[in-house]
Each structure stands twice: as structure tokens, then as C-alpha cells.
Structure 1
Amino acid sequence: MDINALQTLLFVPANRPERFDKALASGADAIIIDLEDAVPASEKDAASSALSQWLESQPANSVLIRINGTGSPWFSQDTSVCRSPAVAGIVVPKVDNPEALTELAHLSEKPLLPFIESALAFSRLNELAQVPNVARLLFGKLDLAFDLGMDYPPPAGEPLDETAFLYARSQLVLCSRVHGLGAPIDAVYTALYDAKGLTDYARQGMRLGFGGFLLIHPAQVAPANKALTPTSAQISWAKQVLAAEQREKGAVVAVSGNMVDIPVMARAKRIMAQLP
């Protein structure tokens, strides 16, 4: 599994082993088997045991695991589960302490995907991004909203206003780029069956520079994949730009009344490279 190439990551609760194979067949790039928030405390030991047994029959580097936090009673148990060759990387929740994350990096050589979901975590973002084995940053929007006392999410039926998260999202994108990490993974879209809403949400994340999305239901996989596919308008624009580049041999040129220079041409090439 190439951690940096992942774009759609689907959560599945660790206490629902009957869903593991279905999740793997959902079309998502990877699944995250969740030992943390999705599993009640009373079921964590049983879920860990069942997961360990299931992993024994899985190919190497085939799944990601979200463990319980470094200060939780289940942390050691979870890191033991993650020693399985089937585990490609460790998703770490509620990360805000670079020292604790470094200790985890010393316990495991596997890629780490820390959730950034508190004001304290954002204040230490550069330190966290430089911890060994950190591969990509994940945005924990709902926990951040609670931590900051934000009026989010709104009641059902009211529109989702994501503008309050623009600063946080941009910090993740910029920090990832500065420290040579893969593009960050954007937060979940909580409406399970709103295909258009998810596609629009994912495209907004892509415009900001996110490289992937967290999903919470198999029904979200197809809309997310649609968002990752260039639109007909983007393809038409890219073809015009590249035709102008070839005609003018790379010089600055106007296309449809807009200046096109080297970075714009590079953007057009990136769009065409995304086509199946």
C-alpha cells in the first residue's frame, strides 16, 4: 500500500468484523479499522482480539488501524495488534503531544497518520509534522469544532457552512508541503446519503490542496471517486491550455482571455494525468 497515493479512506468499526471484507470490496483505496471512537469501552478487548485473528489471514500492508490514544488503557494492546504484517499504517487519534507521538514512532516503524483535531495540536503542528514516520496529516473537524466551542454541526436540514474551517484546513495543507509529507486527508462528511453534497465538499477540499477524504459509509465511496475525476469543463480547459502551450512552445499566452504561464500549464498537465 502506497500511503501517499491514498485518496479515499473508509472507516469500519473494529467490533463489526462481519463488515471488514465488505469494506475492502467497497472501492475505497483503503479501509481504516477503528479501535477508538467506533468501539464502546466494554467491547474494546473483544474487538481487539477478533481483529488480531482476522489480520492473520490478510495480505501484507492491506489495512490501516486507528488505535486508541497514547494515554488510554488500550494503547499497548492496540500497538501490539498493529505489529501484524497486514497493517500498513497506524492512524493516531487526538494527537497534540510531539513527545508522545515520537515514543509511538520508536515502538513501531510503520507509517503514522496523526489526527489533528484540537487547538493545541494546531499550535504544535510543525513539531508534529516532523516526528519520525509521520506520513500524512488527517483533519479531525468535529473534535476541533467541539474544542473551539463552534456552532457546528448545524441541525439536520440546515446548510453546512465550512468557511469557519478554512484557516485550519489551509494550515494542514501548507504544513504538509513544507515538511515534505503527502497531501493531508480531509475530514468526514457526516451526511451518509447526500451524494451531491459529498462530491461538492470533496471538490472544495481538493481546491484547497487536500489529497484525500475520510469516509464513514460505503455509500460515500462513489461520490468521493466522482469528485476525484476531472469534470468535463476541467478537461476542456486543460486541452485548450496544452494546445496553446504546444503552439507557442511554452511561452506565456492568452487562453479564453486569461493569461497562461508555466504553472498554469503544469496544472493542465496534472488534470490530464488524472484521467483513467
Structure 2
Amino acid sequence: MNLSTLQTLLFVPANRPDRFAKAQHSGADAVIIDLEDAVSITEKDSARATLAAWLDTQPPASVLIRINGTDSPWFNNDTRLCRSPAVAAVVLPKADDPLALAELANATDKPLLPFIESARAFANLTEIATTRGVARLLFGKLDLAVDLGMDYPPPAGQDPHEMAFLFARSQLVLASRAAGLAAPIDAIYPPIDDPQGIKSYTQRGLQLGFGGILLIHPKQVAPAHEAYRPSSAQILWAKQILAAAETSLGAAVAVDGAMADAPVMARARRIMESSTPSSS
């Protein structure tokens, strides 16, 4: 599993093994089996035991596991579970301590996908992004909203005001790039039966520089993938830019009344690369 190219990551509760295969066949790029929020306190140990038996039947590096936090009573046992060859990477919630991340990487010998979802995590963002073992950063907006005392989420049907998270999202994108990490993974979109909504939400994340999104239901997979495919208008624009670039030998040139210089040409090439079947 190439963690750097994952675009759609689908959560499935660890206490619902009947859903594991469905999640794996949903079309998502990766499945995150969740031992944390999706599992009640009374089911933590039984869910872990069930998951351990299932992992023994899976191919190497085929799934991701979200464990319980470092300050929880289940953390040590979850950590041991993640040594399974079937685990491709460990998803750590409420990650805010670079030292704890380094220790987890040593204990599991697996790449880490830390959730950035608190003020302290953002204060330590540079150190977290450059910690050995960290592969990509994940955005947890719901926990961040609680930590910051934000008026979010609103009641159903009201404007979610995603602009409130613009600063946080931009910090994740910038820190990832500065640390040489792949583009971060955006937070979940809670509505399940809203294909156009999640498509638009995913596209906005893409505009900000996010390279993937966390999903909570198989219904969200197809519209999310569609959001990452360039539109016909984008492809036409890119072809025009690259044709003009070939004529101008890479020098800045006007296309449809707008300047196209080296960064614009690079954007056009990226669109064409992402429109090929091999990158989908």
C-alpha cells in the first residue's frame, strides 16, 4: 500500500467484522478499522480480539488501524496488535506529542498517520510532521471544534461555515509540504446521503491542497473519487495551456486573454497526469 497516493480512506468499526469485507470492496483506496470512537468502552477488548483473528487471514500491509489514544487504558494492547503484518500503518487519534509518536513508531515499526485535532497539536505541528515514522497528517475537525469551544457542528440543514477551519486546514497543508510529506487527508463529511455535498466538500479540500479525505460510509466513496478526477473543462484548459507552451518553448504566453507562465504550465501538466487511468 502506497500511503502517499491514498485519496479515499474509509472507516469501519472494529466491532463490526461483518462490515470488513464490504468496506474492502467499496472502492475506497484504503480501509481504516477503528478501535477508538466507533467502539464502546465495554467492547474494546472483544473488538480487538476479533480484529486480531481477522488480521491473521489478511495479506501483508493491507489495512490501516486506528488505535485508542496514548493516554487510554487500551493503548498498549492496541499497539501490540498493530505489529501484525497485515497492518500497513497506524492511525493515532489526538496526536499532539512528537515524543509519543516516535515511541509508537519504534514499538510498532509501522508508518504513522497522526490525527491533528487539538490546539496543542497545531502548536507542535512542525515537530509532529518531521517526527520519524510519520507518513501523512490527518485532520480531525470535530475534535478540534470541541477543543477550541467552536460553535460547530450546527443543527442539520444549517450552513456548516467550513470557513471557520480555513486557517487550520492551511496550516496542515503548509506543514506537510515543508516536511516533505504527501498532502494531508481532510476531515470527514458527516452527511451520508449527500453525494453532491461530499463531492463539493472534497473539491474544496483539493483546492486548499489536501490530497485525500476520510469517509464514514461506502456511499461516499464514488462521489469522493469523482471529485478527484479533473473535469472536462479542466482537461480542455490544460490541453490549451500545454499546446501554447509547446509553441512558446516554455516561455510565458497569453491563452484566452490570461497569462500562462511556468507555474500555470506546471498546473496544466498536473491536471493531465491526474486524468490518466493509472493515477485514479
Q: What interval of TM-score do these two structures reach, taking the shorter chain for normalisation? A: over 0.9
Name the counterpart of 2:87: 87
Superimposed CA distance per residue, residues 107-148 of structure 1 (whole angstroms, 9 cap, x where no aligned partner):
122100000000111011011112110000000000001111
1:254 counterpart letter in structure 2: A
Separation in 1, partners of 2:73, 2:145: 26
Per the TM alignment, residue 101 of structure 1 is displaced from its structure 2 partner at its CA by 1.4
SS in 2 for 1:90: strand
Q: Counterparts in 2 of 1:229-240, with a 5 A limit?
A: 229-240=229-240
Give the ranges of 4+ consecutive aligned residues of structure 1 lying more than 3 Å apart after TM superposition.
Answer: none
Give the number of aligned pairs: 276
Separation in 2, partners of 1:95, 1:135: 13
Superimposed CA distance per residue, residues 168-225 of structure 1 (whole angstroms, 9 cap, x where no aligned partner):
0000000000011111000000111111110010000001100000000000001100
Identity of aligned residues (%): 65
Q: CA RMSD of the aligned region, Å? A: 0.7
Separation in 2, partners of 1:103, 1:93: 15
SS in 2 for 1:201: helix
Separation in 2, partners of 1:246, 1:99: 50
Separation in 2, partners of 1:52, 1:181: 30
Separation in 2, partners of 1:110, 1:130: 16
Name the counterpart of 1:207: 207
Q: Which moved more, 1:29-38 or 1:154-163?
A: 154-163
Name the counterpart of 2:99: 99
Name the counterpart of 1:218: 218
Per the TM alignment, residue 79 of structure 1 is displaced from its structure 2 partner at its CA by 0.9
Separation in 1, partners of 2:44, 2:181: 31
SS in 1 for 2:242: helix
Separation in 1, partners of 2:202, 2:181: 20
Query: Is 2:109 the counterpart of 1:109?
Result: yes
Gaps of 5+ in 2: none
Per the TM alignment, residue 232 of structure 1 is displaced from its structure 2 partner at its CA by 1.3
Q: Counterparts in 2 of 1:35-50, with a 5 A limit?
A: 35-50=35-50
Superimposed CA distance per residue, residues 6-40 of structure 1 (whole angstroms, 9 cap, x where no aligned partner):
11000000000000010000000000000001000
Separation in 1, partners of 2:37, 2:194: 23
Q: Which moved more, 1:210-219 or 1:104-113?
A: 104-113
Name the counterpart of 1:16: 16
Name the counterpart of 1:180: 180
Separation in 2, partners of 1:239, 1:153: 41
Name the counterpart of 1:145: 145
Normalised to the residue count of structure 2, the TM-score between the two structures is 0.97
Name the counterpart of 2:124: 124
Gaps of 5+ in 1: none
Q: Which moved more, 1:150-159 or 1:112-121?
A: 150-159
Separation in 1, partners of 2:148, 2:211: 25
Per the TM alignment, residue 248 of structure 1 is displaced from its structure 2 partner at its CA by 1.2
SS in 1 for 2:234: helix
Query: Is 2:251 the counterpart of 1:251?
Result: yes
Per the TM alignment, residue 159 of structure 1 is displaced from its structure 2 partner at its CA by 2.0
SS in 2 for 1:142: helix
Name the counterpart of 2:34: 34
Normalised to the residue count of structure 1, the TM-score between the two structures is 0.99
2:65 counterpart letter in structure 1: I
Superimposed CA distance per residue, residues 48-88 of structure 1 (whole angstroms, 9 cap, x where no aligned partner):
00000001110000000000011111111101111110000
Separation in 2, partners of 1:219, 1:195: 8
SS in 1 for 2:144: helix
Separation in 2, partners of 1:230, 1:161: 26
2:203 counterpart letter in structure 1: R
The 8 Å contact of residues 62 and 88 in structure 2, kept in 1 or not, is answered as yes
SS in 2 for 1:80: helix
Query: Is 2:166 the counterpart of 1:166?
Result: yes
Separation in 1, partners of 2:14, 2:96: 24
Separation in 2, partners of 1:255, 1:197: 32
Superimposed CA distance per residue, residues 233-274 of structure 1 (whole angstroms, 9 cap, x where no aligned partner):
111110110110111111100111111011110110110111
